[in-house]
Structure 1
Amino acid sequence: MQDAVSKAAAPTAAGKKARGILGLKSLMAVAVGLVVSQGVMVLMLQGVGIAGSAFIVPLGIAWVLALCYAASFSELALLVPRAGSLSAYTEVALGHFPAILSVFSGYVVVAMFALSAELLLVNFLLGVLYPAVEGTQYVAFGILGAFTVLNLLGIDVFAKLQNVLAFAMVVALTLLGVSALTGGFAPHAFRAAELAGDFNLGDGAFTLIALAIWGYVGAEFVCPLVGDARRPERYIPRSMYLGLTVIFAVFALYCLGALFYLPREVLMTAELPHLEYATAAFGGSGTFLLAVAAITATCSTVNTSLAAVPRMLQGMAEQGQAFPVLGWKTRKTREPWVAVLFTAGVTGLPLLIWGNDAGTVGLLLISAAIAWLIAYIIAHVNVIALRRRYPDAERPYRSPFYPLPQLIGIAGMVYAIVYASPAPELTVEIFTNAGVVLGIVSVVAVAWIKLVMKKPLFKPEPLNEIAKR
């Protein structure tokens, strides 16, 4: 009986919306645009500073782990094609408590910390490049306000902006990497033979998988846009796979190119290593190129988050897992306007609390790290649980080589969590902060489920019930 129900319960995403707005290019722009942030640009250079040219190995391993999570999210997004994304998948796989925990800890809290870090970083960088804006927060709040308004105007406006931003960002980073590798604008400070001789996996390279994975997190933000996608059964998986591969290629060029111009010590210790890199490779004109790359990276990340996270909250509101007001939509564009404003608000809050202190960027990014990886683990577990509970359900996309991507992904994410701390003296503080955030989210989730929803914490909802909503 369950098999018969499951077959009818999983309408294809393609059938849900025949004519979507977002094609493959737009979805790839979302995947690339969210992942390639200015904070990640800094982290990648710190990684290559620590391990030298051997950093290409953990970068490649992290790419494989990213493909694993893309496989899981693709299967889930097309089996349960709802805007709620991870909450909807987890609700039918594990129950309401893991569903609420996964989205609020893995995405809302991440948006609060990681987006704030991005805005702080671009504000700090432009303050260094252009002293007139130093010490102000005009740029940060200007970017946040502008993209909040633009996302309220509709998904088509978002798509056009995202295509331009992602293209400009990838071109700028690729130009920087290729020019650095070829020495096209300035002579190399170090020879290729020196870099090859410096290749050593014994310099803690494998422990940097945890750092390298941050170069790929966020591609799954295409999944909440499944209802706005054309041919989602094809374009959702392809956009993530292709986007992650483009990211790997761009970061490989970007990281290896830096070693031709800067000592590893500078890459490890500089506050703005990407500024040092651009200046060394291009001279004075490098600052303009970096400004373009940094601004487009930050704008792209903010734009994508303000499109995807509100749709997750909208889906949760429709499922009774969040305040109903978060599901309110504008009459004309059908945008979840309350959720957009809420996401913008929690993003701006740390800016008001910490001000323009660049030293908080690392703390904010690390605070977001563990929660995001836990969300990925939950996604992999969802695939395994749903394969067991609904083996005959219609799946427009099936994760290849199941269950290897899920098992490898879970092991890799656990490894990344264990090595999330960049320094031993920060370990206690980092895990304490993560524990406090997860603890607060857990308490709120339990109270909401028991007092408002009046449902069990870990009882999965039937797949056919989710499909009817």
Structure 2
Amino acid sequence: MRPRLTRVKSPDVLIAESGADLEGHGLRRSMGLFQLVCFGVGAIVGTGIFVGLSDTVAEAGPATVVSFALAAVTCVLTAFSFAELGGAIPVSGSSYSYAYATLGEGAAFITGWCLLLEYGVSVSAVAVGWGQYLNELLHSVTGWQLPAALSTSPSEGGVLNLPAVVVIVLAATLLVRGVRESARATAAMAVLKLGVLALFCAIAFAAFEAGNLTPFAAHGVAGVTSGASVAFFSYIGFDAITTAGEEVKNPRRTIPLAIMICIGVVTLLYCLVAVAAIGAMSADDVAGKPAALSLIVNRVTDSAVGGGIIAFGAVVAIASVVLAVMYGQTRILMSMSRDGLIPRVFERISPATATPVAGTWIVAAVFAVPAAVVPLDVVLDLTTIGTLAAMVVVNTSVIALRRSHPRLARPFRMPFFPLPPLLGIACCGYLIYGTGAAAWLQFGVFLLVGMGLYAAYGRRHSRLRDAYTTPSGPHQKRASTNSSQS
């Protein structure tokens, strides 16, 4: 069992098998830098800031901006690792592929399993938030709302959350049409939602009251830490950029650049929105309120028109997150399927659309169910801890790859190595601590299920060939050389 768990796949083989330097497995290279940055923004900016802001404020009070900054530091440190790995190994598997190249097959499978939380379960969570703002938009425009029975989960008094299912189906429909169409839609939606958030800041800062920021750290350091763990959900998705490695023009240069631009833009925007929101309305009034940004604009302008515009932006923003995150999930599953660790249906590419049609519809069907019946707060902490665990793996992988393949081409080399990945691991651990014991227990159970699935299916169906493998350790370099020669 141990040799199977620790066998690695050389970066050369990963790149060759994916066709990352050419056209691989029927995928088409159609995304440039602007589209990739918009794709990253599309994957990040959505439920976390439009819906989750009020949850962060409930934990941290006016110090919410510090919580957002702390979460951003964790992302920036890990972004350096993603940028270096994304340029060195430009394939669709993201964290899963990086773990396979450095830590072994067992770690890779568990990383892919954790990514189900970041990409799959978060689709359900994001879709739930979409329904809240859709009702706000309908109310501001028509004065009518969807009945609670069809817009909330059973635990909240409804029958099913129909809007959550609808947005997942719409995203899947667009994804199966082709990556070019999806990229164009995501770019348009990203520009629109950035404009809406900029408009919110302009309106909220016009009513800014410094007194709303005192006492600043009302809940102490523990509140800031807990708030940072909640705020981290707002940044989930930036690593989706690396899942486009086989559909991006010049991926070795474009992927690292897009990651750094995306994180910088989003961090600045989030901090401005947090300060503007609490400055315009006290933290006690913002905390726990659904559709908080619309509520703030309505109070500032004494009209429902402004809030309706914000709600429209949120509907578009959250829809683009569903689209981008579902894209990332299907590409990760495609990479795992190529390696034989999950069923082959996920690797099948339609020759007509150059997309994994069957895998996309399976993802939509599976995650539409929890979106329809599970409230947002139930899955938020579990999604956060799964994402942080995957980021720990990425930071560890970049250190391991520097040691095992020092001569591998790296268009982007992080500064001050190995300090950023080590600090990234520490920050991820700190935020995991802030999620609380209940999330740790849920995540532990989730990991045990993943290990059982690997033992029952993954290790038996792995396609990793002996000529390309070796137990992780001092012989990795020789395996890489042999695979390159072959």
Identify the TM-score tier after normalising by the shorter chain: 0.7 to 0.9
The change in CA–CA distance for 1:260 and 1:86 in structure 2 (over 3 A counts) is closer
What's 1:156 paired with? 180
In the alignment, which of 83, 92, 97 is matched to residue 92 of structure 2?
Answer: 83
Task: State how far apart, in whole Å, the 2-side matches of 1:368 and 1:111 are.
Answer: 9
Task: State how far apart, in whole Å, the 2-side matches of 1:156 and 1:78 are.
Answer: 22
TM superposition shift of 1:454: 8.6
Alignment of 1:187-336 (within 5 A): 188=207, 191-192=209-210, 194-195=211-212, 198-200=215-217, 203-204=220-221, 206-207=224-225, 208-282=227-301, 283-336=303-356
The change in CA–CA distance for 1:210 and 1:333 in structure 2 (over 3 A counts) is same
TM superposition shift of 1:353: 4.0
Q: Which amino acid aligns with 2:235?
A: Y
2:408 matched to 1:384?
Answer: no
In the alignment, which of 120, 125, 129 is matched to residue 121 of structure 1?
Answer: 129
- With 320-329 and 446-455 compared, the bigger mean Cα shift is at 446-455
Aligned partner of residue 52 in structure 2, secondary structure: helix
Task: State how far apart, in whole Å, the 2-side matches of 1:416 and 1:464 are.
Answer: 39
- With 319-328 and 206-215 compared, the bigger mean Cα shift is at 206-215
In the alignment, which of 13, 17, 40 is matched to residue 31 of structure 1?
Answer: 40
The change in CA–CA distance for 1:465 and 1:277 in structure 2 (over 3 A counts) is farther
- With 248-257 and 202-211 compared, the bigger mean Cα shift is at 202-211
2:201 matched to 1:170?
Answer: no
Deviations 1:256-286 (A, max 9, x none): 1112332211222324423322322333112
2:42 matched to 1:42?
Answer: no
What's 2:458 paired with? 449
Q: Which amino acid aligns with 1:54?
A: A
TM superposition shift of 1:350: 0.7
In structure 2, runs of 5+ residues without a counterpart are 1-8, 151-160
Deviations 1:29-54 (A, max 9, x none): 11111111224433334334544443
Aligned partner of residue 162 in structure 1, secondary structure: helix
Task: State how far apart, in whole Å, the 1-side matches of 2:351 and 2:21 are.
Answer: 24
- With 455-464 and 199-208 compared, the bigger mean Cα shift is at 455-464
CA contact (8 A) 1:33 1:304 kept: yes
Q: CA RMSD in A?
A: 2.9
CA contact (8 A) 2:295 2:307 kept: no
Deviations 1:18-76 (A, max 9, x none): 99311111111111111112244333343345444433233223222211111111222
Task: State how far apart, in whole Å, the 1-side matches of 2:485 and 2:133 are.
Answer: 49
CA contact (8 A) 1:39 1:117 kept: no
Q: Which amino acid aligns with 1:339?
A: G
2:74 matched to 1:65?
Answer: yes
Task: State how far apart, in whole Å, the 2-side matches of 1:466 and 1:49 are.
Answer: 53
CA contact (8 A) 1:109 1:368 kept: yes
Aligned partner of residue 227 in structure 1, secondary structure: coil
TM superposition shift of 1:344: 0.9
The change in CA–CA distance for 1:465 and 1:380 in structure 2 (over 3 A counts) is farther
CA contact (8 A) 1:95 1:458 kept: no
The change in CA–CA distance for 1:450 and 1:458 in structure 2 (over 3 A counts) is farther
CA contact (8 A) 1:310 1:343 kept: yes
TM superposition shift of 1:361: 0.8
CA contact (8 A) 2:63 2:216 kept: yes
TM-score (norm 2): 0.84
Q: Which amino acid aligns with 1:143?
A: V
What's 1:16 paired with? 22
CA contact (8 A) 1:82 1:224 kept: yes
Aligned partner of residue 228 in structure 1, secondary structure: coil
What's 2:363 paired with? 343
TM superposition shift of 1:103: 1.4
Aligned partner of residue 82 in structure 1, secondary structure: coil
2:101 matched to 1:92?
Answer: yes
Aligned partner of residue 266 in structure 1, secondary structure: helix
Aligned partner of residue 260 in structure 1, secondary structure: helix
TM-score (norm 1): 0.87
TM superposition shift of 1:466: 7.9
Task: State how far apart, in whole Å, the 1-side matches of 2:117 and 2:233 are.
Answer: 16
TM superposition shift of 1:463: 4.5
Identity of aligned residues (%): 23
What's 1:439 paired with? 448
2:412 matched to 1:397?
Answer: yes
What's 1:424 paired with? none
Task: State how far apart, in whole Å, the 2-side matches of 1:225 and 1:269 are.
Answer: 35
CA contact (8 A) 1:96 1:449 kept: no
What's 2:116 paired with? 108
Aligned residues: 446
TM superposition shift of 1:467: 7.5
The change in CA–CA distance for 1:53 and 1:160 in structure 2 (over 3 A counts) is same
What's 2:6 paired with? none
TM superposition shift of 1:200: 4.1
TM superposition shift of 1:115: 1.4
